[in-house]
Amino acid sequence: MSTIAAAPAAATTSAVLEVDRLHVEFSTEGGCVMAVKDVSFTLGRGEILALVGESGCGKSTVAMSIPRLLGDTRARIEGSIRLDGVDLATLSERQMRHVRGKDISVVFQEPMTSLNPAYTIGRQIVEVIRQHEKVKRSAAMRRAVELLALVGIPDARRRLSAFPHELSGGMRQRVMIAIAVACDPKVIIADEPTTALDVTIQAGVLDIFRRLRDTLGTAIVLITHDLGVVAEVADSVAVMYAGRVVEQCSTGEIFARPAHPYTRGLLGALPSRALMRGGRRRLADIAGVVPPPTVDPDECQFAPRCPRATAACVAARPPLAPFVPGHRVACIHAGGEETA
């Protein structure tokens, strides 16, 4: 049920979040850093979209620009981000505060430091609820118990009076998710929500996201560098490289028919795949380094690291174009024999 439309402007009625031609620039002392270039996607109700890429590819910047958390003075943002058809850039800071935590909420990477150490978790959940909804403290408390149960915290009622330091990392991340869904948001942005967790805990947390999507119809933008996480929960995927989306399609499609050499490189670096392919011990890495974000030449930025690069790759930047229906890729050599 991928709603990554070929033309993002053609908004379907089910689209909750539409990001259209998003550019984000930071002006630093070292010059202008173009963190995000021409990123577009739409997200339907109950859809989980994974933004995948290496560190510094701009995926977190995309995520933080959606609830306008980048800070107006540091970042220059172009393009539009629409929530239920409303352009978020047109809202005042005050209106935006009502959107944050209510319509769009964020789950951060570090569960160990994302909760206020001075208050019990019950109080923190209740405060978020009462900040956005006019409900009595007792009603908010009851809701907090339900939320903790929803995210799979055993003995939820007793846990309300626990302090963050009394909980494990996995439990804290569950609390963070409980806070994120407290006001029944339309969109949750999860920035590497499982990266800091044990592998055994990761599956449980990912399962919560899947349940939220199925029961509440929440749309989720999942930022990750872990293709295993993508396979686990995402409906669709956007692979980012050097600030641009280089491949966009459904999750099944990306594992069945990865078209961009970079995506293939990422898949080749997965341990399970490498081992399945005849017990080869060495993981395939991608040679070279990510280009500096201060330059944006009119060429394929992956070309210097690409095994298939030709002169045509650096003659002009390949556009993100349909490869097969519902699958777009920015590579002139897309598809063909899998060599990666």
Partner 1 sequence: MTAAVSAVVPARPRPQWRRIARRFLHRPMAIVGLVLVLAFIALAVVGPMLTSDPDLQDFQVVLSPPSLAHPLGTDDLGRDVLARVANGARVSLLAGVVSTAIALVVGITLGLISGFYRGWFDAVLGRIVDVLLAFPFLIFAVGLAAILGASLTNVIAALAISQVPAVIRIARGEAMSIRDQEYVSGAIADGSRDGAIILKYVLPNAASAFIVQATVAIPAAIIGEATLSFLGLGVQPPNASWGILLTGAQQYLAQAPYLAVFPGLAIALTTLGFNLLGDGLRDALDPKGHR
Residue 77, H or E segment? strand 75-83
Site for partner 1 in 93-112 (CB under 8 A): 96-102, 105-106, 108, 110
- Residue with Cβ nearer partner 1 (70 or 330): 70
Determine, following the binding rule CB under 8 A, whether residue 268 of this chain makes contact with partner 1: no
Does residue 119 belong to the site contacting partner 1 (CB under 8 A)?
A: yes
Distance from C-alpha of 22 to C-alpha of 189, rounded to nearest angstrom: 16
Q: How far is the CB of 139 from partner 1 (least distance, A)?
A: 9
Which residue from 118, 199, 289, 311 is in contact with partner 1, where contact means CB under 8 A?
118
Q: How many CB atoms lie within 10 A of CB 173?
A: 30
Q: What's the min distance (Å) between Cβ of 160 and partner 1?
A: 5
**CB of residue 313 vs partner 1: minimum separation in angstroms?**
39
Q: Please say which residue, 123 or 264, places its beta carbon nearer to partner 1.
A: 123
List, in order, residues 6 or more apart from 252 with CB less than 8 Å away: none
**How many residues contact partner 1, by CB under 8 A?**
40
Looking at residue 332, the DSSP 8-state letter turns out to be T
DSSP 265: H
Site for partner 1 in 175-214 (CB under 8 A): 176, 179
Query: What is the four-CA torsion angle of 99, 104, 108, 114, rounded to 10 degrees?
Result: 40
For partner 1, which stretch binds (CB under 8 A), given 54-62, 115-123, 241-249, 320-328? 115-123
- Rank residues 126 and 242 by Cβ distance to partner 1 and give the closer one: 126
Tell me how many degrees the CA angle 61-326-22 measures, rounded to the nearest 5. Answer: 25
CB of 122 to partner 1, least distance (A): 5
Question: Which residues fall within 8 angstroms of residue 263, CB to CB, at 6 or more apart?
Answer: 239, 246, 247, 254
Question: Residue for token digits 């560190």?
Answer: 55
* Shortest distance (Å) from residue 31 CB to partner 1: 23
| Token pair for 206 | 């990912």
Find the binder of partner 1 among 54, 127, 133, 296 (CB under 8 A): 127
Q: What is the chain's length? A: 340
The one-character DSSP state at 119 is S
- Is residue 59 at the binding interface for partner 1, with CB under 8 A as the rule? no
Report the distance separating Cα 151 and Cα 163, nearest Å. Answer: 17
CA 15/CA 11 separation, integer angstroms: 6
Distance CA 79, CA 89 (A): 9
Residue 80 interacts with partner 1 (CB under 8 A)?
Answer: no
- Distance in Å, CB of 310 to partner 1, minimum: 44
Of 128 and 227, nearer to partner 1 (C-beta) is 128
Per the CB < 8 A criterion, the answer to whether 120 and 163 are in contact is: yes
| Residue 170 near partner 1 by CB under 8 A | no
What is the x/- site pattern for partner 1, positions 129-168, by CB under 8 A?
Answer: --xx----xx--xx--x-----------xx-xx-x-x---
Longest pairwise C-alpha distance within the chain = 67
Q: Nearest to residue 20, comparing CAs of 1, 53, 43?
A: 43
Indicate whether 222 belongs to the interface with partner 1 (CB under 8 A): no
The correct pick among 122, 170, 258, 261 for binding partner 1 (CB under 8 A) is 122
Burial class (CB in 10 A: 0-12, 13-18, 19+), 49: buried
Identify which of residues 159 and 244 has a Cβ nearer to partner 1 in the complex.
Answer: 159
In the complex, minimum distance from the CB of residue 300 to partner 1, in angstroms, rounded to a whole number: 35
Name the site residues for partner 1 (rule: CB under 8 A).
67, 69, 96-102, 105-106, 108, 110, 113-120, 122-123, 127-128, 131-132, 137-138, 141-142, 145, 157-158, 160-161, 163, 165, 176, 179
